[in-house]
Amino acid sequence: MRALITGIGGFAGSHLADHLLTETDWQVVGCVLSECDIPPHLQGRTACRAVDLRDPQAVRHMLEEVAPDVIFHLAALASVGDSWRDPWPVLHNNIRAQLNLLHGLVELNAAPRVMIVGSNEEYGLVRPEELPLNEETPLRPNSPYGVSKVTQDMLGLQYYLSHQLPVIRVRPFNHIGPRQAPGFVAPDFARQIAAAEAGQCPPHIQVGNLETQRDFTDVRDMVRAYYLVATQGEPGEVYNIGSGQAHAIQELLDVMLSYSRVQITIEPDPARLRPSDVPVVRCDASKFRALTGWEPTIPFETSLRDVLDDWRVRVK
């Protein structure tokens, strides 16, 4: 089996490559925007190609060369905050890249299994009585990023219905773990704590809304789910993936501060507040669990300790 991971240099993509290389005998091929995006620990273990997925000819050439049996389409701009500040790059990148990928497969008359990564942000403006969110919950995206993910989701469904392309869609909820880039709550807190411990900045943490609650899953559990989706998922279907438990951002911060080696003070930062913030998001992943038996195995506290330890190494 040959797997193509778009966005292999990213947070989930690099962990998925680790999982496939460790737990399967598959050949892993990666796609990155530029060669400098290839994670050092994957060099020599995977065949990586620098491809701009917004270029349809480049995408088609890559698909011809690689001839994958399975595609994990993870490449995307993933910051909700960035999508508020400048919506078009997020919309253009996420939609155009996937369209080129799916259309290229149709043009080549190729039919690998394709996993499309959506997001819980597709559900957007959630009503309390709708919790936990299942796959039938109405999609009400309330950010440009959420709109881009709804479009990716529906494009995947359309290519399944119109061209019988074996596309399986997932809507993962928040995931955390080592290697996550700044711009997300856990690495943002961890970076500030690690920098304070190293004496690189004052012992303060700037925070946004601490009352919101989100469903967090360790990225290493998440990519294990992605493998199960690709091997056991039903083409045309969509699956929520999440822990089923909501944690307040205040709880996340408290756990991380309990691991700090220095005393930290908290400073509210209005710039970290979003124009639209849903109070509670919680996943119903019963459909996926019934199909595969998947359950998350890494405790929330362990994930946060690993995030902080990762940033302690990075800030040295």
Report the pLDDT value the prediction gives residue 281, as an integer from 0 to 100.
97
Q: Which residues contact 283 (CB under 8 A, 6 or more apart)?
A: 120, 132, 133, 173, 215, 240, 241, 242, 243, 244
Report the pLDDT value the prediction gives residue 275, as an integer from 0 to 100.
64
Buried b (16+ CB within 10 A) or exposed e, 96-105: bbbbbbbbbb
Report the pLDDT value the prediction gives residue 40, as an integer from 0 to 100.
85
Q: Is 288 within a domain?
A: no
108 and 187 fall within a common domain: no
pLDDT in tens, 196-214: 999 999 999 989 899 999 9
> Is the link from the previous residue into 275 a cis peptide, with omega within 30 of 0?
no
302 and 224 fall within a common domain: no
Q: State both tokens at 274.
A: 């979003």
Q: Is 55 within a domain?
A: yes
CA dihedral 176, 179, 183, 189 (to 10 degrees): 70
Q: Is 160 within a domain?
A: yes
Q: Is 30 within a domain?
A: yes
121 and 190 fall within a common domain: no
pLDDT in tens, 27-46: 999 999 988 788 888 988 99
pTM: 0.95
Provide the domain limits for residue 45.
2-175+218-241
Question: Of 168, 180, 311, 162, whose CA–CA distance to 240 is shortest?
Answer: 168
Q: Is 74 within a domain?
A: yes
90 and 236 fall within a common domain: yes
206 and 151 fall within a common domain: no
36 and 106 fall within a common domain: yes
Question: Could you tell me the CATH number of the domain that includes residue 107?
Answer: 3.40.50.720
Rounded distance between C-alpha atoms, residue 100 and residue 91, angstroms: 14
122 and 190 fall within a common domain: no
Report the pLDDT value the prediction gives residue 271, as an integer from 0 to 100.
74
pLDDT in tens, 169-181: 999 999 999 999 9
Q: Is 286 within a domain?
A: no
CA dihedral 97, 99, 100, 104 (to 10 degrees): 150
Q: Is 131 within a domain?
A: yes
The DSSP H or E segment spanning 67 is none
Rounded distance between C-alpha atoms, residue 179 and residue 187, angstroms: 8
Contact call for residues 115 and 72 (beta carbons, < 8 A): yes
120 and 85 fall within a common domain: yes
Q: Is 289 within a domain?
A: no
Rounded distance between C-alpha atoms, residue 231 and residue 239, angstroms: 13
pLDDT in tens, 240-289: 999 999 999 999 999 999 999 999 999 988 777 766 679 999 999 999 99
Q: Indicate the pairing of strand 246-248 with strand 213-215.
A: antiparallel
Neighbour-count burial of 157, counting CB atoms closer than 10 A to its CB (0-12 exposed, 13-18 middle, 19+ buried): middle
Question: Could you tell me the CATH number of the domain that includes residue 271?
Answer: 3.90.25.10
144 and 227 fall within a common domain: yes
Q: State both tokens at 125.
A: 């403006």
134 and 206 fall within a common domain: no
Nearest 5 degrees, angle CA 263-CA 269-CA 271?
145
Instruction: State the CB neighbour count (10 A cutoff) for residue 202.
Output: 11
Work out how many domains the chain is built from and give that number.
2
Q: State both tokens at 238.
A: 């969509």
The DSSP H or E segment spanning 190 is helix 185-197
Contact call for residues 26 and 71 (beta carbons, < 8 A): no
Question: Of 205, 251, 230, 247, whose CA–CA distance to 294 is shortest?
Answer: 230
Contact call for residues 281 and 213 (beta carbons, < 8 A): yes
Gyration radius of the chain's alpha carbons: 19
DSSP 211: S
pLDDT in tens, 216-249: 999 999 999 999 999 999 999 999 999 999 999 9
42 and 13 fall within a common domain: yes
Q: Indicate the pairing of strand 113-117 with strand 167-172.
A: parallel
Mean pLDDT is highest, among 29-38, 42-51, 96-105, for 96-105
Q: Mean pLDDT, to the nearest integer, of 115-144?
A: 97
